[in-house]
Amino acid sequence: MSLVVWSDKLSVGVKSIDDQHAVLFETINDLHAAMLKGQSRSVVGPLLRTLVDYTCEHFTAEEAMMEAARYPSLAAHRVKHSDLTKQVEEYVTRYESGDTTLSIQLSGFLSDWLTKHILSTDQEYGPWLNEHGVR
């Protein structure tokens, strides 16, 4: 069972960003499934690291597009990305130090944050990027 489901209502109107968001959803679902199955640290740990690495790549790509289009709220958006990165890194550090009790808490946090972030903050930049030639 999926924790989060990608749908067109989450689209920001920029194909490459939508594709990246869909990958993030898939990775969160894979992580959630592994945690629910109680799969070993050899599965959950690498999935967590993959999620962190891909999220950082996504944020870098998203911010580069906003910078190229001179998006006026880029600085505030970067702060939100930085805050999330720090929070996820804290979860990873806790997990890597043996705290396995955070599994469901982490899955819920990630799915809530990503969905809310896309539906609010990311939805704001989509039209701006479209108006500046990014589709």
* Domains along the chain with CATH numbers: 13-126 (1.20.120.50)
What b/e string do you get for 39-72 counting C-beta neighbours within 10 Å, with b at 16 or more? Answer: eeeebbeebbeebbeebeebbeebeebbeebebe
- Burial (CB count within 10 angstroms: exposed 0-12, middle 13-18, buried 19+), residue 14: buried
C-beta separation of 104 from 112 below 8 A: no
pLDDT in tens, 63-83: 999 999 999 999 999 999 999
pLDDT cut 90: percent of the chain above it:
47
The answer to whether residue 9 scores a pLDDT higher than 80 is: yes
Predicted local confidence at residue 40, as pLDDT:
65
C-beta separation of 88 from 29 below 8 A: no
- Burial (CB count within 10 angstroms: exposed 0-12, middle 13-18, buried 19+), residue 30: middle
Band (41; pLDDT cuts 50, 70, 90): confident
pLDDT cut 70: percent of the chain above it:
98
pLDDT in tens, 85-120: 998 888 888 888 888 677 677 878 888 888 998 998
Task: Supply the DSSP symbol for 8.
Answer: G
